[in-house]
Each structure stands twice: as C-alpha cells, then as structure tokens.
A and B are shown apart, each in its own frame.
Chain A
Amino acid sequence: MSHNSIVENLKKEIENFSLQLKVEKVGQVMEVFDGIAKVSGLSDIKSSEMVTFSAGQIGVALNLEEDAVGIIILGDFSKIKEGDEVKATGKILEIPVSDNILGRVVNAMGAPIDGKGIIKANLSKDSGPSAYPIEKVAPGVVTRQSVDQPVSTGIKAIDSIIPVGRGQRELIIGDRQTGKTAIAIDAILNQKGQNMICVYVSIGQKDSKLRKLEARLEAGGAMAYTVIVSAGASEPAAMSYVAPYAGVSVAEYFMDQGKDVLIIYDDLSKHAVAYREISLLLRRPPGREAYPGDVFYLHSRLLERACRRNAKYGGGSITAFPIIETQAGDISAYIPTNVISITDGQIFLETDLFYKGIRPAVNVGSSVSRVGSAAQIKAMKKVAGTLKLDLAQFRELEAFSQFGSDLDDSTKRQLERGKRSVEILKQLQYAPVKIEHQVVTFYALTKGFMDDVPVEKIKEFEAGLIEYSERYAKIFYKEIQDTKMWTDKGEEQLKKAIADFKSSFAK
C-alpha cells in the first residue's frame, strides 16, 4: 500500500466519523481497595451496569447505596486513583461474540489471550448482534422443550448408566484429583462430528493446567468446535465472578443459531469463593460458611440458562456440566448441596475408587441422571437396564464375598458378572468409545458371553471383540446407526460373531 492510499483511506474514515453528542453521567472515585471502588455521584446508575474508569478499566456496579456506588473492577485496579472520573455507560456488561471465536482462548471480557491476534467481528449484519449481555433472563417455559436427544460423552459408565441429554445440567462432583476435568475433556473430545459446539469455562485454574488442556484439545482436533473462556488464578476475583456468565453468553450466541452447545464450568466452587470475596469486600452480610445470602441465586440463574429450546423459538440447546470440588468427600457442605439441588443429576467421583484402579472413578450407585434416560438411544437402554441391575446386585453381594467359599451358584454367578461389569466400565483417559461399540460390549456382557472370560483378560477381550464384530457384524452396526435399535437379523449376526470370536480368543 502506497503512502497516498493510506492517507486517502484515513481521510475517508475521518469523513465517515460523526460525533454523537450525549450527556454523560459521571462520578468520582472515593476509595479503591482489593478490586473494589467506592464511587460518589452516578446518581441514576442501574444495578450491574457497566462503567468505565478514566484509566480505561471496566467496572460493574453491584452495590447501590445512598450516597455511593460499590463497583467491582474488571482488570488492573492499581492505576485507579482517588478522584478519578467514572463514566456510566447505560449498558449491562457485555461480551463480544462472533463465529470467529471458535478455537480461541478468551478472558472473561471476551478478549483473546492465546496470542493468535484479534477476533474479528462477523461481517454480515444478519448474523445477530455482535455483543451479548452477560446477564440475561433464562428462556421461559413456553420456549422450552423436554430433553430427548442424547449427548454422547464417550465414557461407558456415563453413557450407559447416567445418560445425559441435550439441554440437561449434569453436575460432576468429587474431591481433588479424582478426574473431574478428565471427564469433561473426554466429553469435549468425543463431540467431534456430533454437531456440538463446546465452551470450556475455566475459573480460578492454574494457567499451566489451562495450557495443557488447550494443547490436549488441539491434539485431539477438538479446538475447531471449542471456545475456552478463562479467568485465571492470578486475575482479580471479579473476573472469576464474571467468567461463567460470559461463557454462557457465548453459548447462547451459538444456541441462537439453532446449534447444540455443551458448556463446562470448571469449577463452580471457586466461582462461589470469588463471589464470597467480592461480597465480603462490598460489606454484604455473610451467611453460612461466610457465603452471602444470594449464593444460591448466583448458581441457579447461571444454570437455568442451560435449556433445550423448541423449534418454534429457534431450536438449539445448551447442555451444562458444572463441576464442584468437595473437601474430603463432604457433599453436605453449602455449595455442593446447592448445586446438587439445582442440577438434573450428578456424577459422583470417589477417591477410594480412583485408587482402587476404577477409572473413571464414578460411583454408579450414588450418581443419577434425572432426565437423561429419556434421551438414551433404544439399543443402549436395552443393554444398560440389565447392566444397572447387575451392578446393584453386585454391590449388595460384594460384602458377602469376603467370607469366601460357601456361596451358592447363583450368588457366585452374580459376583462374577459384577466383577466383569466393573472391569468393562474402566476406561483410559482420552479414549472415548463410540456409542455403537459400547452397545456391542454391553450386549456381550449382559447376555453372559463374557462370564467365562477371566477378569484380567476382559479388556483384551473387549478390544478384540470390537475389532472382530466391526468386520463380521456389519448389519448390526448399520441398524444401530440408522434406527438406534437392532432387529432379530442384526442380533443373530452379532451373536454369531461374538461366539466365533470367543472360540478364537480362547485359543
């Protein structure tokens, strides 16, 4: 580009510029501390309105008092001085959105932090607004539809026993180091080709962990349909407080295009802690565990925005996987009980199981899914029903098995079946299993084909069976893919394939 054309362009831009005069509401900073500013003036400000400081930072008005406004500062507050001018914007805080945000890592304000340059706005005007407010009332009753489409997580224990549907809110809860994030990442990795956009909200996590996670998703080809919204541990609590709302706004942007979205909040315990910090600094009265009175509403209004909308209102869905970290397995603490009661079920992860080698360490007894079974595919429902029963009986009898030999045959059979079921539900990290493979495995298990395979050889048998059946039970696979259920013809073929494979496996 020559110098002349640059000047010409600039001239044109300046000609296009028109200054809109408007009256601005301003206030003065009275005090600043720990990410909070007390501001005088700003008489007509609304609650959670966005304000700008003269140094360029953005703030959100949270406390409206008689002669002052309590504002949380999103960003570096060290440059804000007493007496600085604060301008009200008349808008609720919003986050820029566009299709180009896919594959990017952004902070709670929607600014890119992955060093890949700016995120361009949508060029065409008809692709909806370019910014979404972070606080929005959840879709109403008439716009909703019941959950009837499955989310395939690729994790056998979840897809079979605790199925999740599109639009559901399923809590992942457990102690530190029990594989909560691993489940979320596996679920994202498995969404490839499933017509799902994923949003991962990282709240108060170590940046190193985020980096690793991003690399993992990149390697698995999952970043193409994933957005990461991050408020790191080193950022102010206000950013952590805003991050999940920003994340769900990004999700809503895609839902408004009729797409299905999966959003993961990792984790909401840290979000509650950040909100507690802000509330205490704003001098709101503390309640149980020093959390403020509205900590339930904090999470309920966030999770209520997960929904499945009916076609009349544009369709699309947001499935939420909030994560809660418990302390020493205490699920009766304040935040865990709150979020358990808000969500449509929970996946319990236990340290004991984890160290016993049962990974993912899902406690299938206490995990539930309240709406997902309606969304499960028919074939899976058929095999998983028996599996659930087998496992329940196994848990009951497990205590008995300690006494050893004098058990009757049927008890022994149930115990053996249970052991194999537990073995089958074990799964390596980053190795999601396709739904049709899961059906074949569970079919073989629940119909008793694995009862005489030694427990330590079950994994080997499973892998071999999948490979073999894919070659020799094509009708069965086709039926599952097309109609989500098998017919007698396909079943016959699969039975034969399993029997053939077994005889060759024994040798």
Chain B
Amino acid sequence: MKTLTNNAIAQAIHALSKDKSHSEQADISKKIVQFLFRRRFLSKAPDILLQLRNIINKKEDRIIVKISSAEKLSEKTKTHLEQALKKRYSAKEVILDENINQKLLGGIKIEVNNEVIDLSIKNKIEKLQEYLIKSV
C-alpha cells in the first residue's frame, strides 16, 4: 500500500472544506479528525496543518516572510520591504515574521518559502573570507 503523504492529506482537507458553510465546516472537521485517528495520522497533525496553511496561503496569494535582523526594523523600512516583496512574488498580501538575531551583525536576511536573500553583514564577511582564501 502506498503511504499517504502529509501534503496529499492537506490537499484533500483543503479541497473538502473550501466553499463550505460554517455548520458544514464543523461536521467536516470532526470527520477529518476521526479519519486521522483511525489511520493513526494524528501524530502527523502539526505537519499536516503546516502544509494546509501553505496551501491556503498559496491559493490566496499570501506569502509569509521571515525577516531576521540584528536590530528592530523601523516602520518605514517595513512598508518599503512589503511593497518590494509584493512586487517580486506577485502576492496580494505579505505577512512579516520578524526575528531579532544579534549574530547577523547588521543588515537583514529575508526568507520566503525555500528562498533566502541574505543581505546580512555576517554573510558578506563570510563571502569576503571565501574570496580572500580563494584568490591566494
């Protein structure tokens, strides 16, 4: 028997519950939990939920952006970033997940899905180190 992947389950849940009324939704949710319990998938629930969130975000053109910086970003920079990211990923909505990481030394690091745009000082120093070692 081919095992069900978490992604496949999440897809199925999404297909089932979209465009449904509130009361129907509750019924479906109950059935889903029962199904997960019966097939012993409950332990995988966190991952399935994560996948489901990704699917919904994708459907609604929403992206979650993890931004790491050494210091707290100003509101102005944030709106600026949001605009740029909306354009780049052609998304309607951008959710910023801010993190403070002193180790970056300065600059920012942007993570969207599998992509990383590293603009931190730490990365620049590492690249410079690589370059200097290589050119000898």
A134 at the interface (CB under 8 A from B): no
A27 / chain B contacts, CB cutoff of 8 Å: 114
Q: Does A220 contact B (CB under 8 A)?
A: no
- Determine whether B93 belongs to the interface, using a CB cutoff of 8 Å to chain A: no
Bound-state CA distance A21–B113 (Å) is 18
B114 touches A66 (CB 8 A): no
B114 touches which of A10, A14, A21, A44 (Cβ 8 Å): A44
Q: Are B131 and A25 in contact (CB under 8 A)?
A: no
Contacts of A123 in B (CB 8 A): none
Which residues on the B side are within 8 Å of A43 (C-beta)?
113-114
Considering only CB atoms, which chain B residue lies closest to A88 in the complex?
B114
Checking A19, A26, A42, A44 against B124 with a beta-carbon cut-off of 8 angstroms, the contacting residue is A19
Residue of B6, B114, B119, B127 near A41 (CB, 8 A) is B114
Residue of A nearest to B51 (CB): A67
Q: Known: A13-B135, A14-B128, A17-B128. Contact between A23 and B116, CB under 8 A?
A: yes
Task: Please name the residue on chain B nearest to A14 by beta carbon.
Answer: B128
A406 on interface, CB distance cutoff 8 Å: no
Considering only residues 77-136 of chain B, those with a C-beta below 8 Å from chain A are 111, 113-119, 124, 127-128, 131-132, 135
Residues on A with beta carbons closer than 8 Å to the beta carbon of B116 = 23-26, 87
- Cross-chain contact B117 with A66 (CB below 8 angstroms): no
Count residues of A near B (Cβ-Cβ below 8 Å): 18
Q: How far is the CB of A130 from chain B (nearest CB, A)?
A: 12
Residues of A within 8 A of B131 (CB): 13, 17
Please state if A24 and B118 are interface contacts (CB–CB under 8 Å): yes
Tell me the residues in window 1-51 of chain A with beta carbons closer than 8 Å to chain B beta carbons: 10, 13-14, 17, 19, 21, 23-27, 41-44
Pairwise interchain contact B7-A21, C-beta atoms closer than 8 A? no
| Chain A residues closer than 8 Å to B119, beta-carbon distance | 21
- Residues of B within 8 Å of A87, CB to CB, are 116
Flag if A42 contacts B5 (CB, 8 Å): no
Instruction: Give the docked Cα–Cα distance between A267 and B131 (Å).
Output: 38
Instruction: Give every chain A residue within 8 A of B132 (Cβ-Cβ).
Output: 10, 13-14, 17
A66-B135 in contact (CB<8A): no
Chain B residues with CB under 8 A of A44? 114
| Distance in angstroms between the alpha carbons of A349 and B44 in the assembled complex | 58
B111 to chain A, nearest CB (A): 8
Within 8 Å CB of A13, what residues of B?
131-132, 135
Contact, CB under 8 Å: A26 / B115? yes
User: What's the minimum C-beta distance from A9 to chain B, rounded to whole angstroms?
Assistant: 10
A41 to B113, CA, bound (A): 8
A332 to B124, CA, bound (A): 58
Contact indicator B5/A66 (Cβ below 8 Å) = yes
Residues of chain A within 8 A (CB-CB) of B7 are: 66-67
Q: Quick one: given A13-B135, A66-B7, are A24 and B128 in contact (CB under 8 Å)?
A: no
- Chain B residues with CB under 8 Å of A23's CB are 115-117
Indicate which residue in A19, A26, A42, A66 contacts B127 across the interface (CB closer than 8 Å): A19
Tell whether, in the assembled complex, residue B5 and residue A24 are in contact, meaning their CB atoms are under 8 Å apart. no
> What is the CA–CA distance of A408 and B7 in the complex, to the nearest angstrom?
85
Report Cα–Cα, A14/B124, bound state, in Å. 12
Rounded to whole Å, the gap between the CB of B106 and the closest CB of chain A is 14
Flag if B128 contacts A26 (CB, 8 Å): no
**Please, which residue of chain B has its CB at the minimum distance from the CB of A45?**
B114
CA of A23 to CA of B135, assembled, Å: 24
A21, B115: Cβ atoms under 8 Å?
Answer: no
Contact of A25 among B5, B6, B114 (CB under 8 A): B114
Chain A residue at minimal CB-CB distance from B117: A23
Task: Name the CB-closest residue of A to B124.
Answer: A19
| A26:B135 contact, CB within 8 angstroms | no
Produce 1/0 per residue, A54-70, CB < 8 A to B: 00000000000011000
Chain A residues with CB below 8 A from B127, complex form: 19
- A87→B117 CA distance, assembly (Å): 12
Chain B 38-54, CB-CB to A under 8 Å as 1, else 0, gives 00000000000000000
Q: How far is the CB of A90 from chain B (nearest CB, A)?
A: 12
Specify which chain A residues have a CB less than 8 angstroms from the CB of B5 in the assembled complex. Answer: 66-67
Between A and B, 8 residue pairs with Cβ closer than 8 Å are A17-B132, A19-B127, A24-B115, A24-B116, A25-B114, A25-B115, A25-B116, A26-B116
Q: Return the 9 tightest CB-CB contacts between A and B, nearest first.
A: A41-B114, A24-B116, A43-B114, A26-B116, A17-B131, A23-B115, A25-B114, A67-B7, A23-B117
Assuming A25-B116, A67-B6, what are 9 further A-B pairs, CB within 8 angstroms?
A10-B132, A14-B128, A21-B117, A24-B115, A25-B114, A26-B114, A43-B113, A66-B7, A67-B7
Q: Which B residues form the contact surface with A (CB < 8 A)?
A: 5-7, 111, 113-119, 124, 127-128, 131-132, 135
